[in-house]
A and B are shown apart, each in its own frame.
Chain A
Amino acid sequence: MRWITLLVVLPLVAAAATLVASKFDREYAKYVAFVGSLLPLGVSVYVWQVPFDRAANALTHPDEAQLVERVPWFEIAGYEVEYFVALDGVSMPLVLLTTLLVSAAIMSAWNAIDDAQASFYALVLFLEAALIGVFVALDFFLFYVFWEAVLIPMYFLIAVWGGPRRKYAAMKFFVYTNVASLIMFIGVVALYFNIGGPGVADLSMPSLTQAIAEGHLTGAFGLSADALRLAAFAALFIGFAVKVPVVPFHTWLPDAHVEAPTPVSVILAGVLLKMGTYALLRFNFTMLPETAAALAAPIALVGVVSVIYGALLAMAQTDLKRIVAYSSISSMGYVVVGLVAYTQYAVGGATFQMVSHGLISGLMFMVVGVVYHETHTREVGEISGLAHRAPLVAGVFVAAAFAYMGLPGMSGFPAELFVFMGGMASATIPYAPVVVAAAMFGIVLVAGYLLFAMQRTLFGEFRVGRADAATDGGEGVTDASLSEAVPMLVLLAAILALGIQPDIAYDMIEASTASVAELVEGGV
């Protein structure tokens, strides 16, 4: 059974079915899309539970990659480009995250999206196929096709269904990330074309990893092999850092997030940002470990700056969505710190954090979406006492905020704990304990701005609108409807499950990330 192909194709079939169904009755679109999104979710869960075996890293141990499918596609300059997909402990959790979040996002869109529903759901499903493709592709060209394919539905989702400045935000997102992608492309291609010795016969990522690990990279363009490696590393890092995003490449994110409609924000924060950290892990940290270790200090600095600066930016915001958007930058900073620490726990924790943050930020955006849907404002100062009218929303808000702060029992806790524990023991980061402690300070800031926002909006006298307005303006405010509550509660349940029993996810992550940590001397 070609399970992975099925995973990529099912959302496309669902998208087509959605478009067809809406011809009969436009109300059908949302149900067909939701049921259609359950299929890949079901398949991914089945694959995880049944055929998938907790695997070593597909790049360092290509023989152990799971559910491999390889079909030749075309030949370029003597290199075979293949349709080459597989799963391992890094990609499996992210595929599960994608399928779960897309289903949740589609259900949460039932209330939020009125206009051109069929096209909206079809584009979301198309996006899902591309995202799954990014995580399962092991051929670089194929990976790049999916990587770029993500942009197309995303552009339309923001530009058509977004907020008032949506066109500007969509364009900025588009051009910004595309420049980065092309720089990354050139970096990777430079690596492939300068493998000496036996060379590589195909453009698959495992072949490249092996060839570089065996020291076959030669110098080119008047650069020595080491300098070329450094240049390629820089090109890749810039390419992926924009997607993550880390400071200073983050400016597209708040615009895109604020203008995107809620379900799209959920996918954007939950899955799209993980493309960046996933690719960093796959390319920079697995293929070029020596360079990454040598550059550990500046990279860790970038990570810590992202944590602190992102949190400070979040603090300065009064728009709930902007707060969550900036706090994503902060959370992604932990992933970078974890990856560069090169210890078993830190890399595993960073991968765990990708999943955990995907769930938590997705949940957070849903809460904000419901609040906005009910009150028509996202300004912290214009909402007060929401807990009286919407206790469920308020409860989920509090839970999500606690999860963000990394409270025990929530998935954020093991994620950050692993990163910090692993980070402290890092042999690559100079003064690791100090650096990690600085990153930990970010949690204090998170607690600061989230508690502040929570307290002002949820508690106190019920009021919607400006404080000096004559009426409270919130007569119509009710609690979340069923189609809003279910996805929120499902995500919350997942967050709790991972918090109480991290092994659910960590078990499959462990082996794959441990092989990455072992690439660098002193990795524990």
Chain B
Amino acid sequence: MVDELATLVPLAPEFAVIGAALLILVIDTFSREKHGAVALVVAFTGVAVAFVATLFHLAEGTDALLFHDTIVVDGFALFFNAAVLIATVLVLVSSTEYIEKFCPERRENLTEFAVLVLFAASGMLLMASSRSLVTAFIALELAALPSYALVAFAKDDKAGIEGAMKYFLLGALTSAVFLYGISLVYGATGAFDFVGIADALTGADGDVFGLAGLGVLLILVGLGFKIAAFPFHVWAPDAYTGAPTPVAAFLSSASKIAGFVLLFRLFTVAFPTQLDWLLAIQILAVATMTYGNFAAAVQSSVKRMLAYSSIGHAGYVLIALAVFTGADADSAFALGAGMSHLFIYALMNTGAFLVVALVDDYWGVGYTFEDYAGIARQAPVIGVAMAVFMFSLAGLPTGAGFLSKLAVFAGAVNSGFWWLAVLGGINSALSLYYYTRVLKWMWVEEPEGATPELEGKPVGIYAAILVAAVGTVVLLFAFDPVLSTATEAAESLLGV
């Protein structure tokens, strides 16, 4: 018994998060008054424990197979766990004040908010550890269902309902497509676990390949939805805009990262490149970053701009998979670069969304670029933080986003796909246009008419923004741990 429990130690992060969620539910059931604060403290503690456990396993170099090899805890999963947990904690910290101000009628339900976030997060953690298509599907649904509810959390807000509806309908549809893809792959290979699929496919003949190839394509559609890659992105801008902004930050950071980890593991381990999925990923990468950038450039709402910019970033990260050439050092480096970009992205993208949460909703300034006029002069700390996020997202050296994006491009060049790096570079340079547009309004332009009153300095939101900003800057100088951990994880995943 004890021995069996001991084998579960590698899953400590998942247990911490799920345990916190269940504990909150229990407390909520037995307490007469609703204590949102207590729920958040428990949630925060659970995530913090999970984060520490993740770091511990990373340092230990844990590599374990559990539950009949359907779940794997390795450096690859743990690295992504860390990124997901960081985004989760930032969202939790900022949500109390946000909900109280933005939708006071839902104050009573803060416990539900925390529980939903935690369940979604546990689903994301399990996505990173899935080693079988069935586990992957269950984890994906576990992450998705709470997310739908979170988008509609402000239930009197029409935009939120609309966004959640779109998200749910398309999500349900792509889940079905994903499941169908799984059944085709299973039919072709007779295996659910990733390694088994790869074994069955090596040396298989043409018919099996055709069936499996179709399945892979359908699975790609399902994951493309999750990471909001063009053309499966249509839900994203509406869901992000309609959702409470911390939820948008959560979806565009943590949820996207979880989609990527599954995509990376599944495609590099289970599906041999002979299935020709590489071309599909390349097309997806180019289309996603180009579309995301051009769409972001024409937005008039800052939040929508960030929504599209997060689509653009999915395109950059897809480059890391698009240059996959097999289990070799070049591919491992490219993959590691993509992983480190996702990690940094979790910080800077969450931070940027939280600035929007603060300015748009908490201060109620308005959602267009014009409404941001003069904000930075009144709240210079927020202005500087936003400058850090925007320039770092655009790939200028105010933060580690600069290095991680360059690492992605360098990885592409290294693997021989210089044209993907060139396209990524041009996209990245054009993205300066819309990122600096925010800063232009915040710092340069004078507001028309009266300067908006900025009431209150919410401690939680400020703290989350500052943590994200400082983290982004510090990692510019201390980039080595991130990149080397990511590269090592990718190497061990590919068995280089």
**Chain A complexes with chain B:** yes
Interface residues of A (CB under 8 A from B): 73-78, 141, 144-145, 148-149, 151-152, 155-156, 159-160, 167, 171, 174-175, 178-179, 181-183, 185-186, 189-190, 193, 220-221
Interface string of B403-437 (1 = CB under 8 A from A): 10011011101101010011001101110110010
Q: A185 contacts which chain B residues (CB < 8 A)?
A: 406, 409, 425
A243 → chain B closest CB, angstroms? 14
CA distance A174 to B429 in the complex (A): 9
Contact indicator B426/A182 (Cβ below 8 Å): yes
Q: Among B36-44, B107-115, B265-273, B391-399, which stretch is in contact with chain A?
A: B391-399
Q: B333 contacts which chain A residues (CB < 8 A)?
A: 76-78
Supplied contacts A74-B483, A182-B425, A193-B410, 9 more A-B pairs, CB within 8 Å: A75-B483, A76-B333, A76-B483, A77-B329, A148-B402, A156-B443, A167-B444, A178-B396, A186-B422
CA distance A75 to B487 in the complex (A): 10
Q: B413 contacts which chain A residues (CB < 8 A)?
A: 186, 189-190, 193
Interface string of B455-487 (1 = CB under 8 A from A): 000000000000000000000010110011001
Contact indicator A179/B398 (Cβ below 8 Å): no
CA distance A77 to B409 in the complex (A): 12
Q: Contact partner of A174 among B418, B425, B432, B480, CB < 8 A? A: B432
Contact indicator B397/A148 (Cβ below 8 Å): yes
Main secondary structure, interface of A, reads: helix
Contact indicator A145/B428 (Cβ below 8 Å): no
B179 → chain A closest CB, angstroms? 38
Interface residues on B, range: 35 or more
Contact indicator B422/A175 (Cβ below 8 Å): no
CA distance A75 to B428 in the complex (A): 23
Q: B440 contacts which chain A residues (CB < 8 A)?
A: 159, 167, 171
CA distance A185 to B429 in the complex (A): 12
Interface string of B33-71 (1 = CB under 8 A from A): 000000000000000000000000000000000000000
Interface string of B372-405 (1 = CB under 8 A from A): 0000000000000000000100011110001100
CA distance A175 to B437 in the complex (A): 12
Q: A149 contacts which chain B residues (CB < 8 A)?
A: 396-397
Contact indicator A221/B418 (Cβ below 8 Å): yes
Q: Known contacts A159-B444, A171-B433, A220-B416: does B425 contact A76 (CB below 8 Å)?
A: no
A55 → chain B closest CB, angstroms? 28
Q: Known contacts A149-B397, A151-B396: does B483 contact A179 (CB below 8 Å)?
A: no
Q: For B425, B430, B487, which residue has the most chain A Cβ atoms within 10 angstroms?
A: B425
Q: B479 contacts which chain A residues (CB < 8 A)?
A: 73-74
A256 → chain B closest CB, angstroms? 15
Contact indicator A189/B484 (Cβ below 8 Å): no
Contact indicator A179/B416 (Cβ below 8 Å): no
Q: B430 contacts which chain A residues (CB < 8 A)?
A: 175, 179
Contact indicator A171/B436 (Cβ below 8 Å): yes
Contact indicator B426/A179 (Cβ below 8 Å): yes
Q: B436 contacts which chain A residues (CB < 8 A)?
A: 155, 171, 174
Q: A182 contacts which chain B residues (CB < 8 A)?
A: 395, 409, 425-426, 428-429
Interface string of B88-101 (1 = CB under 8 A from A): 00000000000000
Q: Contact partner of A186 among B329, B409, B477, CB < 8 A? A: B409
Q: Contact partner of A77 among B410, B422, B433, CB < 8 A? A: B410
Q: A186 contacts which chain B residues (CB < 8 A)?
A: 409, 413, 418, 421-422, 425
Q: For B406, B433, B477, which residue has the most chain A Cβ atoms within 10 angstroms?
A: B406
30 example contacts (A-B, Cβ-Cβ < 8 A) are as follows A74-B480, A76-B333, A78-B329, A78-B333, A145-B397, A145-B402, A148-B395, A148-B396, A148-B397, A148-B402, A149-B396, A152-B397, A155-B436, A159-B440, A160-B444, A167-B440, A171-B436, A175-B432, A175-B433, A178-B396, A182-B425, A182-B426, A186-B413, A186-B421, A186-B422, A189-B409, A190-B413, A190-B418, A193-B413, A220-B416
Q: A221 contacts which chain B residues (CB < 8 A)?
A: 416, 418
CA distance A45 to B413 in the complex (A): 41
A186 → chain B closest CB, angstroms? 5
Q: For A148, A160, A182, which residue has the most chain B Cβ atoms within 10 angstroms?
A: A182
Q: Contact partner of B425 among A77, A152, A167, A179, CB < 8 A? A: A179
Contact indicator A73/B480 (Cβ below 8 Å): yes
Contact indicator A74/B484 (Cβ below 8 Å): yes
Q: Contact partner of B429 among A78, A159, A160, A175, CB < 8 A? A: A175
Closest to B409 in A: A186
CA distance A159 to B480 in the complex (A): 34
CA distance A220 to B406 in the complex (A): 20
Closest to B333 in A: A77
CA distance A333 to B411 in the complex (A): 36
CA distance A155 to B433 in the complex (A): 12
Contact indicator B396/A189 (Cβ below 8 Å): no
Closest to A161 in B: B444
Q: A174 contacts which chain B residues (CB < 8 A)?
A: 432, 436
CA distance A56 to B443 in the complex (A): 45
Q: A152 contacts which chain B residues (CB < 8 A)?
A: 391, 396-398
Contact indicator A77/B416 (Cβ below 8 Å): no
Contact indicator A183/B425 (Cβ below 8 Å): yes
Q: A190 contacts which chain B residues (CB < 8 A)?
A: 413, 418
B445 → chain A closest CB, angstroms? 8
Contact indicator A75/B444 (Cβ below 8 Å): no
| 5 closest Cβ pairs, A-B complex | A182-B425, A74-B480, A179-B429, A178-B429, A77-B333
CA distance A167 to B437 in the complex (A): 10
CA distance A155 to B444 in the complex (A): 11
Interface string of B323-365 (1 = CB under 8 A from A): 0000001100100000000000000000000000000000000
Contact indicator B484/A75 (Cβ below 8 Å): yes
Q: For A141, A144, A160, A185, which residue has the most chain B Cβ atoms within 10 angstroms?
A: A185
A317 → chain B closest CB, angstroms? 27
Closest to A74 in B: B480
A510 → chain B closest CB, angstroms? 34
CA distance A75 to B395 in the complex (A): 19
CA distance A152 to B391 in the complex (A): 8
Closest to A182 in B: B425
Q: Contact partner of B410 among A76, A145, A167, CB < 8 A? A: A76
Q: A183 contacts which chain B residues (CB < 8 A)?
A: 422, 425
Q: B397 contacts which chain A residues (CB < 8 A)?
A: 145, 148-149, 152
Q: A151 contacts which chain B residues (CB < 8 A)?
A: 396
B174 → chain A closest CB, angstroms? 34
A178 → chain B closest CB, angstroms? 4
CA distance A141 to B391 in the complex (A): 18
Contact indicator B410/A189 (Cβ below 8 Å): yes
CA distance A74 to B395 in the complex (A): 18
B334 → chain A closest CB, angstroms? 9
Q: For A73, A148, A149, A220, which residue has the most chain B Cβ atoms within 10 angstroms?
A: A148
CA distance A400 to B320 in the complex (A): 53
B282 → chain A closest CB, angstroms? 15
Q: A76 contacts which chain B residues (CB < 8 A)?
A: 333, 407, 410, 483
CA distance A155 to B333 in the complex (A): 33
CA distance A189 to B484 in the complex (A): 19
Contact indicator A160/B443 (Cβ below 8 Å): yes
Closest to B334 in A: A77
Q: B396 contacts which chain A residues (CB < 8 A)?
A: 148-149, 151-152, 178
Closest to B412 in A: A186
CA distance A189 to B421 in the complex (A): 11
Closest to A180 in B: B429
Contact indicator A178/B402 (Cβ below 8 Å): no
CA distance A145 to B392 in the complex (A): 12
Q: A73 contacts which chain B residues (CB < 8 A)?
A: 477, 479-480
CA distance A179 to B479 in the complex (A): 24
Q: B395 contacts which chain A residues (CB < 8 A)?
A: 148, 182
CA distance A78 to B397 in the complex (A): 22
Q: B406 contacts which chain A residues (CB < 8 A)?
A: 141, 144, 185
Q: B428 contacts which chain A residues (CB < 8 A)?
A: 178, 182
B401 → chain A closest CB, angstroms? 12
B78 → chain A closest CB, angstroms? 20
Q: A78 contacts which chain B residues (CB < 8 A)?
A: 329, 333
Q: For A144, A156, A175, A186, which residue has the most chain B Cβ atoms within 10 angstroms?
A: A186
